[in-house]
Amino acid sequence: DAGVTQSPTHLIKTRGQQVTLRCSPKSGHDTVSWYQQALGQGPQFIFQYYEEEERQRGNFPDRFSGHQFPNYSSELNVNALLLGDSALYLCASSSTGARTPGELFFGEGSRLTVL
């Protein structure tokens, strides 16, 4: 059973560019959440997608947007990249029917470096 897969694993961009990160959730999961983890910090919630809609959002600017597809996979887009966007971007999947609401399954992340 494949877990959460993310691509690409590493990428380097320059300020002002745009980036798209991709995520395939664990089999049987219908909800995808995205987190940003800066170096030496804990993950910060960006947003969550369920039924192809953004269900909730953290304190991130509109430069951060996302999408969920009918097969539950998801994309995170970041426009007009800033140096401060350099971080590990984690995708986490879960099931709305889960008995443990806080149980998220994380991918290994996409490490973004903005120069």
Partner 1 sequence: QKEVEQDPGPLSVPEGAIVSLNCTYSNSAFQYFMWYRQYSRKGPELLMYTYSSGNKEDGRFTAQVDKSSKYISLFIRDSQPSDSATYLCASLNAGGTSYGKLTFGQGTILTVHP
Q: How far is the C-alpha of 71 from the C-alpha of 81, rounded, in Å?
A: 28
Binding window for partner 1 (CB under 8 A); candidates: 12-20, 38-46, 61-69, 72-80: 38-46
Binding window for partner 1 (CB under 8 A); candidates: 17-25, 59-67, 74-82, 95-103: 95-103
Applying the rule CB under 8 A, the residues between 54 and 73 that interact with partner 1 are 55-56, 58
Q: Binding of partner 1 at residue 92 (CB under 8 A)?
A: yes
Binding window for partner 1 (CB under 8 A); candidates: 19-27, 44-52, 59-67, 79-87: 44-52
- Report in angstroms how near the CB of residue 97 gets to partner 1 at its nearest: 11
- Report in angstroms how near the CB of residue 78 gets to partner 1 at its nearest: 19
Q: How far is the C-alpha of 13 from the C-alpha of 115, rounded, in Å?
A: 6
DSSP the chain: ----EEE-SEEEE-TT--EEEEEEPPTT--EEEEEEE-TTS--EEEEEEETTEEEEE-S--TTEEEEE-TTS-EEEEE-S--GGG-EEEEEEEE-TT-SSTT--EE---EEEEE-
Nearer to partner 1, 5 or 20 (CB): 5
Q: Binding of partner 1 at residue 27 (CB under 8 A)?
A: no
